[in-house]
Structure 1
Amino acid sequence: MQKLPCVLLVDDDPITNFLNQRLLDELALTDKLLVALNGKEAIALIEEHCPFSVGCPALILLDVNMPVMNGFDFLDAYQQLIGAQQKPSVIIMLTTSLHPRDVQRGETLNIAGFLNKPLTKEKIREILHTHFGQSAAAG
């Protein structure tokens, strides 16, 4: 599996972040894994670690409901970043509830899709296959 240059996890639940981080480490998906507890922290991490870097992070796994700045507010702020305008990241909303209102709103934004938690190896492989053209081989 080819490594992605950078992946960003955004979720207000530290346990979910820990489990997702372990899964991504186990799959050796990236050498640069950023973790934020809300959208505001995520924007700050992108500005700090990916200044002027087009397509960085390559993948963002984003929770919908978070304090300080939720997933939708993050998307609004993210669209204002220069790199995001030139080559947007693949953004997957990762949530516990696929509420039709949220899905409908997501369809109007520049996201790659919605996934129900928990994140699994199979879901990661499908993301890689669909959005990065990588083989979805088991392993």
Structure 2
Amino acid sequence: MLHKLLCVDDDPITLMLYKMVIAKAEFAEQVDTAQNGEEAIAYFDGLLKVGSDYPKLIFLDLNMPVMGGWEFLDLFSTPKYEAFSDAKVIVLSSTIDPQDIEKSKSYKQVIDFRSKPISKEMLAELQHIF
């Protein structure tokens, strides 16, 4: 079981459902959320200041207002966030565009590209990674 997980998605209902599925699957003890990439970057900036425990897994939506998933990944890949280099990202998208899948492979943190929504079965498949 993961200690901490971050879900980044602009839909509050999706975030609520993710929390419920993750809790039922006993996949993570704590689920933090952000509604766009900017909130996620602010979340990690806060962790840098206090040096606290950070999520080892991020579920990331691509299409969000303010700052999307690609922009988040571009910033999160910079040396400023090197302290979180072992955090893994799973892109969750409502569309499975082959170009997006290929682009996601260019980010070392991205370990998978999945179709929304998450399910207990998906989490069971991921269990071996953590």
Q: Same fold (TM over 0.5)?
A: yes
1:70 matched residue in structure 2? 68
1:137 matched residue in structure 2? none
Q: 1:98 to 1:122 in 2, by over 3 A?
A: same
Could you tell me whether the CA contact under 8 Å between 2:7 and 2:59 is conserved in 1?
Answer: yes
1:105 matched residue in structure 2? 103
Residue-by-residue CA offset, 1:39-95 (whole Å, 9 max, x unaligned): 1101111232465457x21110000111111111111111221312xx321110001
Q: Which runs of 5+ in 1 are unaligned?
A: 133-139
> Runs in 1 of length 4+ with deviation above 4 angstroms?
none
Q: What is the CA distance between 1:5 and its match in structure 2?
A: 1.9
1:114 matched residue in structure 2? 113
Aligned letter for 2:126? I
User: Normalising by the residue count of structure 2, what TM-score does the alignment of the two structures yield?
Assistant: 0.88
User: Normalising by the residue count of structure 1, what TM-score does the alignment of the two structures yield?
Assistant: 0.83
Aligned letter for 2:127? L
Structure 2 residue 83 is matched with structure 1 residue 83: yes
What is the root-mean-square deviation in Å for CA atoms of aligned residues? 1.7
Aligned mates of 2:83, 2:55 — CA distance in 1:
10
2:43 matched residue in structure 1? 45
Q: Which runs of 5+ in 2 are unaligned?
A: none
Aligned mates of 2:45, 2:26 — CA distance in 1:
24
> Which structure: greater strand fraction?
2
1:57 matched residue in structure 2? 55
Aligned mates of 2:86, 2:42 — CA distance in 1:
16
Aligned mates of 1:57, 1:47 — CA distance in 2:
13
Higher relative contact order (CA 8 A, sep 6+): 2
